[in-house]
Structure 1
Amino acid sequence: MTTNASPGDTPAVDPAHITQAARDTLTVRRVYGDAYERGSTLVIPVATVWGGTGSGWGSGSGELSGKGAADWPFHLGRSPAPSEAPETSGKPSEGPGSGNAGGDAGGEGSGGGGGFGVRVKATGVYVVDDAGVRWQPAVDVNRVVLGGQAVLAIVGVAASLAWAIGRLRRG
């Protein structure tokens, strides 16, 4: 089996490496930040962390690639549908394996991929001082503004409906 890429051109995808990188990223250090001290007050930042990881791999074979790939339904022991019938106009066929215009029927394949994503959102801080430990939540101003806009829109629609119904009853 030959490959177009020489060894070293493209590193192999190692799903274990991706999972380890995600594990290193999704740690308690992301949730509880490094504590710092201001005067006699200790502040411990806290965040909410979401994350996910995924990976995949592929393979290939030469059975349905290259010259003659257009008659692939016959290899499966069934008659092709009209849309699957081999093209006879001399143009390259479309369908499984038609990407091998040279006609070599010894196709190969490989594949791979993966990644992970992380979302970190500040939640608040724990404040430790002479009065004890207390929680100070972080205020998400964007969420507050969006919530206010939604409430105003609902009130506006309700007022418009009440006004329209009142006019219909009077008229």
Structure 2
Amino acid sequence: MKIDELMAEARDAITVRRVYSEPYERDGVTVITAASIGGGGGGGLGKDEKGQQGEGGGFGISARPVGAYVISGGKVSWRPAIDVNRLLTGVAAVAIAFLVTRARVARARVRAERG
């Protein structure tokens, strides 16, 4: 893929339509979901020993839900999405840090008592 084509694809991939969904309306309640979008890319060109020129690149994009706007009775409210995997990862990291710190403090106390 040529670098110009890569940049055009990247520009088309990151649009407001990727962040906000089309409004969904039912029974007088409208919901518009929202996502966090991130991406990155790179490319380059060069020549080999024979003088032949080449170019290439790549682009990646990721998305995760962050919540939804709910419109009901003329009022707008934000409902955050809960990412259970991220929440569990955070809790596990805190628990591991606590256990490691607790063990080190206990060893330090034993050393201090000995002398």
Task: Name stretches of at least 5 consecutive residues in structure 1 with no aligned partner.
Answer: 1-12, 61-96, 98-106
Q: 1:73 maps to what in 2?
A: none
TM-score (norm 1): 0.58
| Offset of residue 170 of structure 1 | 4.4
Matched residue SS, 1:57: strand
- The residue type equivalent to 2:6 in the other structure is I
- The residue type equivalent to 1:117 in the other structure is G
1:123 aligns with 2:66: yes
- The residue type equivalent to 1:21 in the other structure is E
Query: Among residues 105, 110, 114, which one is paired with 1:167 in the alignment?
Result: 110
Alpha-carbon distance in 1 for matches of 2:97, 2:45: 49
Alpha-carbon distance in 1 for matches of 2:31, 2:64: 17
Which structure: greater helix fraction?
2
1:34 aligns with 2:22: yes
Q: Which entry has the higher C-alpha Rg, 1 or 2? A: 1
Matched residue SS, 1:128: strand
Q: RMSD over aligned Cα, in angstroms? A: 2.1
- The residue type equivalent to 1:19 in the other structure is M
1:15 aligns with 2:3: yes
| Offset of residue 108 of structure 1 | 4.0
Q: 1:110 maps to what in 2?
A: 53
TM-score (norm 2): 0.82
Matched residue SS, 1:29: helix
Q: 1:58 maps to what in 2?
A: 46
Query: Among residues 120, 145, 153, which one is paired with 2:88 in the alignment?
Result: 145
State the Cα deviation string for residues 68-104 of structure 1 (Å, max 9, x = none): xxxxxxxxxxxxxxxxxxxxxxxxxxxxx5xxxxxxx
1:156 aligns with 2:99: yes
Which structure: greater strand fraction?
2
Change (3 A) 1:52 1:162: closer
- The residue type equivalent to 1:56 in the other structure is G
Alpha-carbon distance in 1 for matches of 2:74, 2:86: 31
State the Cα deviation string for residues 96-146 of structure 1 (Å, max 9, x = none): x5xxxxxxxxx4412111221111121111111116111111111111111
Number of corresponding residues: 114
Alpha-carbon distance in 1 for matches of 2:99, 2:51: 63
State the Cα deviation string for residues 27-73 of structure 1 (Å, max 9, x = none): 1100111121232211101111112333322235xxxxxxxxxxxxx
